[in-house]
Amino acid sequence: MPWLALTAIVEPRWADAFSDALLWAGAQSASIEAPEGDAPRVSALLAHDAEPAALVAAAAAHCGLAPAPSFALEALADEDWVRRTQAQFAPLVVGRLWIGASWHTPPAAEKTVVRLDPGLAFGTGSHPTTRLMLEYLERELRGSESVLDYGCGSGILAIAAAKLGARRVAAVDVDEQAVATARENAGHNSVRIEACRPESLAPGTYDIVLSNILAQPLIVLAPLLASRTARGGRLALAGLLAAQADEVARAYAPAFELRIAGRMDDWVVLAGRHR
């Protein structure tokens, strides 16, 4: 069965959200290429009978991107789809963590292995915002903490936290498909996470709260995320550009003094402790 390879060029601040939205809209897999000095290219694989224009329009509307970007299409045979999909996703090493797909061979036993296949996941660790958060977790998590991943997507951060020794992990997303995907990926990795929609999250606070979404939703969520972070607990926020960091930090100033704790390209992670 042939497949369709779709490529769209978007502004850097939209690349991650649009890639996730394409998966939400029905793409089989999605990835981001960001050549130095060029605008990011978001690539997706679609079933041969998909309606690309409708899918792109739905994805753009879902993530708030207007107007919908233009795109190019290429037909692929089955074997080309497999080769291209596997070539797009190289294993990622972040400190103690090794993140790879099912066809990759993990390294020596000293690495903590996380497996996520493209097409099953909203986020495979390749985007700078996800990698920044993985680096934060690997650096800050010592074991036995409770962790909340708010806006979990694939569950990659929640799964990594569980693999690194967190005693309890909750993963929340407004998208029911993301919740189901996070649960499935946790099962593939033999870890337990509490994945649910926000309204189903049990009362209580967490030692570490993570949220890798976008700047404006992070601003809106400031009171909620503060209420879910234990006093003295830690908060880490990503999905924002360096130019947006001050505005986001101000929204959290009543409860946190957030500082840039990591930077990659134009992306940053903000982190601090609850007063």
Based on the fold, state whether residues 20 and 153 are members of the same structural domain: no
What local confidence, expressed as pLDDT, does residue 86 receive? 53
Based on the fold, state whether residues 77 and 10 are members of the same structural domain: yes
Q: Is the peptide bond before 223 cis (omega within 30 degrees of 0)?
A: no
Based on the fold, state whether residues 27 and 146 are members of the same structural domain: no
CA–CA separation, 257 and 70 (whole Å):
41
Share of the chain above pLDDT 90, in %: 51
pLDDT grade for 121, boundaries at 50, 70 and 90: very low
Average pLDDT over residues 8-22: 88
Based on the fold, state whether residues 145 and 40 are members of the same structural domain: no
- Residues 182, 183, 184: CA angle, nearest 5 degrees: 90
Assessment of whether the complete model's pTM goes beyond 0.75: no
Based on the fold, state whether residues 214 and 110 are members of the same structural domain: yes
**Interacting residues of 241 by C-beta distance below 8 A, sequence separation 6+:** 12, 13, 215, 266, 267, 268
Q: Name which residue leads in pLDDT, 16 or 138.
A: 138
Average pLDDT over residues 135-163: 94
Q: Name which residue leads in pLDDT, 86 or 16.
A: 16
What local confidence, expressed as pLDDT, does residue 274 receive? 97
CB burial string 93-118: b at 16+ within 10 A, e below: ebebbbbbbeebeeeeeebbebbbbb
Of 88, 122, 139, the last residue of a domain is 88
Based on the fold, state whether residues 257 and 134 are members of the same structural domain: yes
Provide the H-helix boundaries in 148-194: 156-163, 176-188
- Residues of the domain holding 166: 92-273
What local confidence, expressed as pLDDT, does residue 87 receive? 56
pLDDT grade for 1, boundaries at 50, 70 and 90: low
Q: Name which residue leads in pLDDT, 94 or 122.
A: 94
Based on the fold, state whether residues 266 and 138 are members of the same structural domain: yes
Based on the fold, state whether residues 81 and 160 are members of the same structural domain: no
Closest CA to 265 of 137, 165, 129, 148: 129
Residues 132 and 262 sit within 8 Å (Cβ to Cβ): yes
Residues 86 and 103 sit within 8 Å (Cβ to Cβ): yes
Based on the fold, state whether residues 134 and 263 are members of the same structural domain: yes
pLDDT grade for 229, boundaries at 50, 70 and 90: very high
Based on the fold, state whether residues 52 and 155 are members of the same structural domain: no
Average pLDDT over residues 202-227: 95
pLDDT grade for 55, boundaries at 50, 70 and 90: very high
Domain count, the chain: 2
Identity of residue 194: E
Q: What CATH number did the domain enclosing 26 receive?
A: 3.30.70.260
Of 70, 88, 106, the last residue of a domain is 88
> Using one digit for the tens of pLDDT, what is the confidence trace for 237-273?
998 889 999 999 999 999 999 999 999 888 899 999 9
What local confidence, expressed as pLDDT, does residue 101 receive? 76
Q: What CATH number did the domain enclosing 148 receive?
A: 3.40.50.150
Mean pLDDT for the chain? 87
Residues 93 and 112 sit within 8 Å (Cβ to Cβ): no
The partner residues of 43 in beta bridges, in order of sequence, read: 7, 31
Q: What are phi and psi of 184, to 5 degrees?
A: -65, -45
Average pLDDT over residues 101-122: 72
Q: How many residues does the chain have?
A: 275
CA–CA separation, 149 and 211 (whole Å):
6
What local confidence, expressed as pLDDT, does residue 78 receive? 55
137 pLDDT exceeds 90?
yes
Based on the fold, state whether residues 84 and 135 are members of the same structural domain: no
Based on the fold, state whether residues 21 and 71 are members of the same structural domain: yes
